[in-house]
Chain A
């Protein structure tokens, strides 16, 4: 009975693989578990192993070629078996039209069930992915909160609970079972899960892959945002600038804001009692949130084929922890009083350092802010937290000699640098936003307007 060799997901995030080298020639006898080829994944070079015994009759991906996960890479069969039907549809994830008769794919269906045939490389990649996602948020986007509690961490295909019918459907559609959430007993993947996953679109690996499939924030509600299809000019800007600079064509705007009045305000508040103390950072967070509520064009997400403009402002604030960076979120920051923002940001930062954040507390931001002022950094550029449109990097606030009305005076100043995704924001749009922000920060009474 013939066994199809597929490009397998050899890492949790792998979407395609480059066949580096075949280790078996056509006509070679192979045994289940033997290495057939070396495949370069997004992480490393891994081994693709045989899932059945027989003769490697056909190699369907050339050395050096890249193929998506699920693509037919070869066929193992008896020396005299007719494999014409199996070879049809090679190179692409098996299309429905070229579905072989059930008896031909049984070997594959069994293979995924057999834990004993799990290749070593897959076990390794499983070990790597066993860390819960919240421990791994480093600079990247917060992991989207899974819908419903996940029953199992991503595991090697052989360890996934799935029904034979589900495996057969998944294999035909080129779906990676890692990408599917099971709804059967103990998270077992059954037919309806495959159908739901197939209906939801092309295999989007569950484990990560945020760069190519930007994750929308969790818990969306009606009216929280509106989507606008890309205009042609935005498409071209996106494409051209993307080619020029990388997946997120970023530009940077720096502005030095005067904090005199913020300092006056803080002083006045503190005089009323220690309980009214707020930090410069608290004031800046509030000002940024209010500015965002006035500039929805900046409070946006890049979703590949459209831009999502948010009507609510959920402010992400980067917090350094011993394990790395994490971005807890102040929900509806524009509507919260400064005292609430102050209290919440302290609490979130504390809990982030204690690794006690709940998933909903570090997902769903519409815009993010990073502050390295406490380290004496004058100014810096922060990396955008995709799919967000921009991030603001706050430097240290310090007294500086500046010229006001022709006179040299000492003023407290802070430098903000906004990294902007040019696919969403043009230079002038970003500049206008900073203008609004400057007006708010330099006239903090406007925050109560």
Chain B
């Protein structure tokens, strides 16, 4: 039994960032976490997946190395080694968060929490003991989300032949064949990894294009690149007749007017995440949920119950680590009585780390059309960018959609090498309401990939120089 100012339920990106900020603001802070610190992001998502993608990137580069005057010997691919490195990176990051907790004197209560009131929680530790803790100021729910499987079409997760990303991250070797259901960021990234490690990959998406939340130009560019790498991409697809056998899964897939039977060693379900709202006593405390089952919050992260806050995936989409982190920082400031800037959810960037990478912020061109916004598009291909040519990474483009009248950045979309880094210039611009002219005004060093951003800005003004 201990008393804190604030208790966070869950030590993922939302919870741990919130806890650090709260501690920095002088609050006595505790985080209840049953697993390692860092949450899905550090343990089962962003970090280990990016480590695997880096392995995939090496594998792809080896194929072109001879063109660069470097002829390697026999190239052997070992997913097991890549996986172990990925786990090591993940553990290292989790330890990093532990260090930050110690540095900021944050108490990590190991176990599973349940609200006993709006200001107290009962934490059950691994050995079954239960202990009560009180929060003087606030309890913050940051329990995150989980993969939920697609039981409705027969794809119930069984951890062997029908798996989620959690299992995919600890496979000892790459399967001979894999079907990935859902071509969002997670699906595309694993398609990339397994294709690089020699698996026969089928990527299935119910929507008309892969990466359906991205601008359709980006979706098409990635689809083209995937097909070149012999990934079988099926869009507007309907799955039926799923048969789960002991060491394989078969299904019928209808796509593009064709129906075919697909059999694979493993099916990876990369569609649908569910918020972790169960077994924390939300109902008993009267916490209201949204229609989609997330915890309902206002811009101060307050739930319908006074003193109870919610942040991160459990508080609604976009389910992205960086959105949760910002919500964590905001909730800490709110609880500490500081003035927090309201989070503008239209300025949360998206990033997918497959090859080529995809990154974006703001509206897609289709959304501009739907909203009947008068816009202009500027686009610059990396094939015309000097730096991209030197590294031989000429796939992709920078696309900027600006308001026709004022030049404000409505949306920005980048496909290509390092797109996830390049996007931030435009995130800064959009967040601070710069127009394309301020972007052009800033001198971009030559030769850099960033020059493509400036050129796309100029193109939207009809003044492109290098293409």
Residues of A whose CB lies within 8 Å of any CB of B are 99, 102-103, 106, 109-110, 163-166, 168-169, 172, 184-185, 190-191
Within 8 Å CB of A110, what residues of B?
A: 441
* Bound form: Cα–Cα A107–B406 in Å: 13
Q: In this assembly, does B433 line the interface, its C-beta being within 8 Å of a C-beta of chain A?
A: yes
The prevalent SS among residues of B at the interface is loop
Q: In this assembly, does B434 line the interface, its C-beta being within 8 Å of a C-beta of chain A?
A: yes
* Bound form: Cα–Cα A99–B405 in Å: 8
Among A103, A106, A163, the residue within 8 A (CB) of B433 is: A163
- Known interface pairs A164-B433, A165-B435, A168-B406; A103-B461 also in contact (CB < 8 Å): yes
Contact B341 A185 (CB under 8 A): yes
* Bound form: Cα–Cα A406–B410 in Å: 88
Within 8 Å CB of A166, what residues of B?
A: 433
Among B405, B406, B433, B435, the residue within 8 A (CB) of A190 is: B433
Contact B433 A102 (CB under 8 A): no
Contact A102 B434 (CB under 8 A): no
Of B406, B433, B435, the most chain A CB neighbours within 10 A belong to B433
Within 8 Å CB of B435, what residues of A?
A: 102, 109, 164-165, 168
Q: In this assembly, does B438 line the interface, its C-beta being within 8 Å of a C-beta of chain A?
A: yes
Closest beta carbon of chain B to A103's beta carbon, Å: 6
B460 to chain A: closest residue by CB? A102
Of B341, B406, B437, B461, the most chain A CB neighbours within 10 A belong to B406
Q: In this assembly, does B432 line the interface, its C-beta being within 8 Å of a C-beta of chain A?
A: yes
Residues of B whose CB lies within 8 Å of any CB of A are 341, 405-408, 432-438, 441, 461
Within 8 Å CB of A172, what residues of B?
A: 406
Within 8 Å CB of B407, what residues of A?
A: 102, 168
Contact B433 A109 (CB under 8 A): no
Within 8 Å CB of A164, what residues of B?
A: 433-435, 437-438
Of A102, A103, A163, A169, the most chain B CB neighbours within 10 A belong to A102
Seed contacts A164-B434, A168-B435; 6 additional CB < 8 Å A-B pairs: A102-B437, A102-B461, A103-B461, A165-B406, A166-B433, A185-B341
B408 to chain A: closest residue by CB? A165
Identify 14 residue pairs between A and B in the complex whose beta-carbon atoms are under 8 Å apart, listed by A's number: A102-B406, A102-B435, A102-B461, A106-B437, A109-B437, A163-B433, A164-B435, A165-B406, A165-B435, A168-B406, A168-B435, A172-B406, A184-B341, A185-B341
* Bound form: Cα–Cα A109–B461 in Å: 16
Contact A191 B433 (CB under 8 A): yes
Closest beta carbon of chain B to A311's beta carbon, Å: 33
Contact B437 A169 (CB under 8 A): no
Within 8 Å CB of B405, what residues of A?
A: 99, 102
* Bound form: Cα–Cα A169–B403 in Å: 12
Closest beta carbon of chain A to B263's beta carbon, Å: 54
Within 8 Å CB of A185, what residues of B?
A: 341
* Bound form: Cα–Cα A169–B406 in Å: 8
Of A168, A172, A184, the most chain B CB neighbours within 10 A belong to A168
* Bound form: Cα–Cα A109–B435 in Å: 10
Contact A163 B434 (CB under 8 A): yes
* Bound form: Cα–Cα A173–B435 in Å: 17
Within 8 Å CB of B433, what residues of A?
A: 163-166, 190-191
Contact A163 B432 (CB under 8 A): yes
Closest beta carbon of chain B to A116's beta carbon, Å: 16
A165 to chain B: closest residue by CB? B433
Within 8 Å CB of B408, what residues of A?
A: 165, 191
Within 8 Å CB of A99, what residues of B?
A: 405
- Known interface pairs A102-B461, A185-B341; A165-B434 also in contact (CB < 8 Å): yes
* Bound form: Cα–Cα A37–B89 in Å: 67
- Known interface pairs A163-B432, A165-B408; A103-B341 also in contact (CB < 8 Å): no
Within 8 Å CB of B438, what residues of A?
A: 164
* Bound form: Cα–Cα A191–B441 in Å: 21
* Bound form: Cα–Cα A190–B347 in Å: 14
Closest beta carbon of chain A to B189's beta carbon, Å: 34
Within 8 Å CB of A169, what residues of B?
A: 406
Q: Which are the 6 A-B pairs with shortest beta-carbon distances?
A: A163-B433, A165-B433, A102-B407, A165-B408, A106-B437, A168-B406
